[in-house]
Amino acid sequence: MNTKAILLVAGLAVLIGSLFIDTRLAPFIGAALLLGAIIYGWASNRKASDENLRKAERATHEQREEHYHDKRP
Residue 19: which residues within 8 A CB-CB, separation 6 or more? 26
Interior/surface letters 13-49, b for 16+ CB within 10 angstroms, e for the rest: ebbeebeeeeeeebeebeeebeeeeeeeeeeeeeeee
Average pLDDT score over the chain = 81
Query: What pLDDT does 73 receive?
Result: 60
- pTM of the predicted model, to two decimals? 0.52
Query: What pLDDT does 60 receive?
Result: 92
Check if the beta carbon of residue 12 is closer than 8 Å to that of residue 36.
no
Query: What pLDDT does 71 receive?
Result: 66
Confidence of residue 58 (pLDDT cuts 50, 70, 90): very high
Mean pLDDT of 5-25: 81
Residue 26: which residues within 8 A CB-CB, separation 6 or more? 15, 18, 19
pLDDT of 32 above 90: no
